[in-house]
């Protein structure tokens, strides 16, 4: 598919600077793009590539002041990065919309309800009483357990496993290898030193517009629901334990772990490899730095923490600055002790 600069500018509400009839059919990085490709410039450190790029069209910020003439057609928008993301999303939608029908072999239980324009890839297993709303795309080797409900235009990538009674909203994307609804880690210690498994009878609820990365695991609740609220974005390789709640539009980077029954507020940002113990409350807008270990609730909104155990971000930076000076401070203390000793002797 080809699109002209004029068509792209209309989609993005941008302004064409150059040839409005210039066409593109693919994307490319600004330093590598060729004729017929679309690129973008958002980071100023890549600006020099703009003046030599072979891209046919480049999306740029409206505020960009050119240092020299360019040979490519520009589309000026308020935010080039966001505009490019919109185009990539539309391109991806066009690709997935072309997927329709049921490939063979597929196991589709006769009680499953399948909406319009649904795609089910080969070797998928769709259990009893599953509901697939309009536009759902199920890629090959996906398992969907009994009683699962999946909302419209949701995309389930290859190898995803969704256990029974999970509820998934509209416009959700779940990437390859993720497991949703596996048993929570619940074991009761016994007097003889053994552990008795606590049945995990709840489910997982994933609300609208959530994206979940590859090989992430989200455990079902012991009782009730593990909940991922609307707009949350979860990276690859996360562990979300039973009865956790993740608030609206919160983002969690790779290899983080959240223990059971912890409640994450709205618009929280959690860095990679962070760990949060169970039964905590994390206030709205909190920022948890990468590799932090959070052992206490964060009750004040918009708090930033770092370290293990995690504490106030600015205080942690001051502590780190002091720590770097400890050898010098030790030397000065020794010198002061010698001076005091000499003064006492003279006295």
Whole-number Å distance between alpha carbons of 302 and 287: 7
Count other C-beta atoms under 10 Å from residue 299's C-beta.
11
Contact 49, 72 (CB under 8 A): no
SS3 label, residue 101: strand
Of the candidates 256, 221, 258, 262, which has an alpha carbon nearest to the alpha carbon of residue 242?
221
- What SS3 class is residue 36? coil
CA distance 273 to 257: 7
Question: Is 259 in contact with 277 (CB distance < 8 Å)?
Answer: yes
Q: How far apart are CA 214 and CA 219, in angstroms?
A: 15
Do 8 and 83 meet the contact criterion of CB atoms below 8 Å apart? no
CB 54 within 8 A of CB 35: yes
C-alpha–C-alpha distance, residues 120 and 103, integer Å: 6
| Distance separating the N- and C-terminal Cα atoms of the chain | 93
**Residue in 74, 44, 37 with CA at minimum distance from that of residue 59:** 74
CB 118 within 8 A of CB 134: yes
Catalytic residue, candidates 109, 242, 249, 279: 242
Contacts of 302 (CB under 8 A, 6+ apart): 283, 284, 285, 286, 287
| Element of type H or E holding 173 | strand 173-174
242 given a catalytic annotation: yes
Residues carrying an active site annotation: 242
């Amino acid at each position: 598919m080809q699109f002209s600069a004029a068509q792209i500018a209309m989609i993005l509400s941008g302004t064409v600077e150059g040839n409005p009839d210039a066409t593109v059919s693919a994307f490319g990085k600004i330093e590598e793009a060729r004729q017929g490709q679309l690129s973008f410039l958002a980071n100023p450190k890549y600006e020099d590539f703009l003046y030599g790029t072979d891209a046919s069209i480049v999306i740029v910020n409206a505020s960009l002041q050119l240092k020299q003439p360019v040979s490519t057609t520009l589309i000026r928008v308020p935010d080039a990065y966001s505009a490019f993301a919109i185009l990539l999303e539309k391109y991806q939608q066009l690709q997935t919309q072309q997927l329709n029908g049921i490939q063979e072999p597929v196991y589709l239980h006769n009680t499953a309800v399948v909406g319009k324009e649904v795609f089910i890839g080969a070797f998928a297993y769709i259990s009893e009483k599953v509901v697939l709303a309009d536009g759902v795309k199920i890629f090959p080797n996906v398992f969907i357990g009994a009683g699962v409900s999946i909302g419209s235009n949701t995309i389930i990538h290859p190898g995803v496993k969704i256990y029974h009674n999970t509820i998934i909203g509209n416009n959700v994307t779940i990437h390859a290898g993720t497991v949703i609804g596996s048993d929570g880690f619940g074991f009761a210690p016994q007097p003889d030193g053994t552990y008795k498994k606590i049945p995990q009878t709840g489910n997982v609820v994933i609300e609208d517009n959530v994206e979940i990365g590859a090989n992430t695991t989200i455990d079902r609740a012991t009782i009730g629901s593990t909940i991922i609220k609307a707009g949350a974005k979860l990276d690859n390789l996360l562990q979300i334990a039973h009865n956790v709640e993740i608030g609206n539009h919160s983002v969690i980077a790779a290899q983080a772990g959240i223990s059971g029954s912890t409640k994450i507020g709205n618009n929280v940002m959690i860095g990679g490899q962070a760990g949060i113990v169970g039964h905590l409350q994390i206030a709205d807008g909190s920022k948890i730095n990468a590799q932090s270990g959070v052992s206490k609730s964060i009750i004040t909104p918009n708090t930033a923490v770092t370290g293990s155990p995690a504490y106030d971000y600015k205080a942690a930076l001051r502590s780190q600055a002091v720590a770097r000076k400890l050898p010098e401070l030790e030397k000065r203390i020794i010198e002061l002790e010698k001076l005091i000793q000499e003064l006492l002797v003279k006295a």
